[in-house]
Amino acid sequence: MLANDKLECRVCGAIKLSPREAMATRLDRVFRELGRLIAEHQPEEVAIEEVFYSVNAKSALKLGQVRGVAMLAAATAGLPVAEYAPLTIKCAVVGYGKAEKSQVQHMVARLLRLEAIPEPADAADALAIAICHLHTAATRARQGAGVR
């Protein structure tokens, strides 16, 4: 995602799942598709959003299952996984932890110099997590360089 020290979107999207399929089948599909994407794009690390508290416990549980599968796919490929809280992601992208979803989407498009906001919304969220991870890694590298 970094090219010549500039953010660049190389690929983004979302895995489409059918709510009619059994949860185990959907989780298997996520695992296989992430494994395929990891093999194809050869990332060095993976970043995901931490679990957030949801009013709907059932939705939060399903999200937790998908996160677990995503972490397993990364671990199976030998990749380290970084997790970021939603507040941290919004701060890194917008500069304000309580930014609206639309503000995050617009900043993602702007930071990556995209002509349109990535669709679906989950793709923009994933790009925001990647941007947060890259900004955090760059800050840590600068701090580490200053200590030596």
Q: Domain range spanning residue 135?
A: 85-148
Shared domain check, 136 and 126? yes
Residue 148 has pLDDT above 50, yes or no: no
Domain count, the chain: 2
Cα–Cα distance between 135 and 7 in angstroms, integer?
10
Strand, coil or helix: 24: helix
Q: Which of 62, 83, 104 is the last residue of a domain?
A: 83
What pLDDT, on the 0 to 100 scale, is given for residue 145?
Answer: 62
Render pLDDT for 28-71 as a digit per residue (tens, 0 to 9): 999 999 999 999 999 999 999 998 766 688 888 888 999 999 99
Backbone angles phi, psi at 7, to 5 degrees: -65, 140
pTM of the model: 0.89
For the domain that residue 66 is a member of, what is the CATH number? 3.30.420.10
Render pLDDT for 84-142 as a digit per residue (tens, 0 to 9): 999 999 999 999 999 999 999 999 999 999 999 999 999 999 999 999 999 998 887 88
Q: 94 with 125: CB under 8 angstroms?
A: no
Cα–Cα distance between 4 and 6 in angstroms, integer?
5
Shared domain check, 135 and 108? yes
